[in-house]
Chain A
Amino acid sequence: MLPKNRKIAFILTIISAIIGIMLTVQLRSNLHPIKAESRSVSELRTTLQKELEKHKSLLADISKYNQLFYQYETALDTDESVSVMKEELSRTRRLAGLVSVEGKGAVIRIVDAPPLPEQAAVDGDLMSGDNQTSYQIDDEDLRWVANSLFANGAKAVSLNGHRLISTTAIRSVGQSIQVDTKFVQPPYEFKALGEPDVLISGLKLEGIEENFQLANKKIVFEESDRLVVPAYSEQRTIRFMKPVKSKGDQ
């Protein structure tokens, strides 16, 4: 009788202890949910980092203009200051994309994909008749590629030999695609100056290959150590914009 009684007491003890603990834990966790706030911290960090980067580039720009100013001031004669001005002009033209540039980069070609043998067998009748009417590459596809290249750090990009600058439009006109005023025909070829592996892996990550598979196209990537991206070749006259001159000190 006694051992059995002890056993019951023992079991009772353990069970009630467990119940007690469980109850408390439940109560506590319901009362004080742990707040997840680490996300906002990391967001703030990125914002700060962006500001710091901006700070750095501002300083760089300031020192650039300081140097220019100093060069103008210390020029011995007009010839020298004119040559300083010419240098500044060629530097600015490079920024604007009016000068061809050379460096490391990647070439991205959008070419017709050879039909895979087994695929052709499976959806043979699907592909054969539809090929002409199947999805065509449109202007947004090309804009998307250019945008992705810039987003992955491309410094200069050309499409079929036409340099893309700040005012370049890529648009469908009828059946063909126009880059500014020039028509471009397939196969489309992008040349982008930048870190080749970053550019290529960036495009792959965004699904460029899958995207163009819809149009039955294949993407050929090529890295290059010496890539030439041509200068913007169209003639543009500026009619509407002018530099902001502040009112105070005219």
Chain B
Amino acid sequence: MGKHKFHLYLTLVTFATGFLMASAIETTKFSRTQQQNSQQQEQETQLTERILAEKERNQDLEQQLLDLQKSVGKVEEEMAQRQSEAAGILDQLEAARMLAGVVPVEGPGIEVTMQDNEKASEAPDVINYIVHEQDVRLVVNELRAAGAEAISINGQRLVSNSAIRCVGPTIIVNGIKSAAPFVITAIGDPNTMENALNLPGGVLQSLQDFVQIDVAKKDKVQLPAFVGDVKFETSDQIG
């Protein structure tokens, strides 16, 4: 009888000891992960703060750049008024700048908004109902063929070496990521561009059944300038 009692006590005590030991170990481990988590959180806030600060600074810089472009433009215009040769060059220069996408432009145009179909999550073949990069390229290509003079996607101006990429639900243009909806803005003849998209068997018809796509003609749209580094070394040029 006494022996049984002893066994019972022993069981309880060792059980408790085991519990305590493991608990102690886990607690130290837990506090460590907690520490890590709070460190991570701190890191996150720090990063977010830096990103915000950097964005603000970039906005200032963008404004500075615009002001500078304006004053350069003024000097050029003065020159053009004084001399006819300068006037001819300025016309070419302005055209080249607009085509290169280094200055903001405005004009009549069209706005195409693309986003995943609302039914996408319920459909058995989800893949058909989300916007892919080739869909965006298809619309852009059609707009170009219809004479679009300048195009931007979610505020990123397309220039001569822009790539359009999709990663998951985001689109990457000029290396800048942005989320749906994808807004494609183009300057050109609004009617021509709309008709081109609406052609029977055309872009709109083939995409409409799958993704949500809206087209709106606009009297005036503004496209931002491309900010980036298409840098040709001086030795690149030959002609």
User: Which residues of A approach B to under 8 Å, CB–CB?
Assistant: 5, 8-9, 12-14, 16-25, 28, 32, 34-35, 37-38, 40-41, 44-45, 47-48, 50-62, 65-66, 68-69, 72-73, 78, 81-82, 85-86, 88-90, 92-103, 139-140, 143-144, 147-148, 150-151, 154-157, 164-171, 193, 228, 231, 236, 238-246, 249
Contacts and interface: CB of A to CB of B under 8 A. Distances in A.
Among A61, A102, A154, find the residue whose CB has the most chain B CB atoms closer than 10 A. Answer: A61
Given A78-B83, A150-B163, A193-B236, A55 B90 contact: no
A45 B104 CA distance: 29
A144 B16 CA distance: 66
Interface of B: 3, 6-7, 10-12, 14-23, 26, 30, 33, 37, 40-41, 43-44, 47-48, 50-51, 54-55, 57-58, 61-62, 64-66, 68-73, 75-76, 79, 82-83, 85-86, 89-90, 92-109, 133-134, 137-138, 141-142, 144-145, 148-151, 158-165, 175-177, 187-189, 222-223, 227-233, 235-239
B93 A89 contact: yes
A40 B96 contact: no
A100 B238 contact: yes
Contacts of A57: 227-229
Contact of A155 (B96, B97, B148, B230): B230
B62 to A, nearest CB: 6
Contact of A68 (B72, B82, B144): B72
A28 B19 CA distance: 11
B46 to A, nearest CB: 9
A69 B47 contact: no
A50 B175 contact: yes
A86 B86 CA distance: 9
Given A96-B100, A96-B160, A231 B239 contact: yes
B235 A143 contact: no
Closest 3 CB pairs of A and B: A20-B18, A24-B22, A17-B18
Given A169-B141, A241-B149, 6 more contacts: A52-B54, A82-B83, A90-B237, A147-B163, A154-B161, A193-B236
Given A50-B175, A95-B160, A171 B96 contact: no
A170 B65 CA distance: 34
A166 B75 contact: no
18 contacts: A5-B3, A17-B18, A19-B18, A24-B19, A24-B23, A24-B26, A34-B33, A54-B227, A65-B65, A72-B79, A92-B97, A98-B96, A102-B238, A147-B133, A150-B162, A151-B165, A241-B223, A244-B103
A156 B161 contact: yes
Contact of B21 (A14, A21, A56, A241): A21
Nearest to A103: B236
Nearest to B85: A82
Nearest to B188: A240
Contacts of A48: 47, 50-51, 54
Contacts of B189: 239-240
A94 B182 CA distance: 30
Contacts of A40: 44
Contacts of B97: 92, 96, 243
Contacts of B134: 140, 143-144
Given A17-B15, A96-B99, A240-B107, A50 B44 contact: no
B18 A89 contact: no
A228 B237 CA distance: 9
B74 to A, nearest CB: 9
B93 to A, nearest CB: 5
Contacts of A244: 103-106, 222
A95 B95 contact: no
A68 B97 CA distance: 14
Contacts of B158: 166
Given A16-B14, A85-B90, A147-B163, A155 B107 contact: no
A53 to B, nearest CB: 8
B57 A55 contact: yes
A82 to B, nearest CB: 5
B132 to A, nearest CB: 11
A236 B97 CA distance: 14
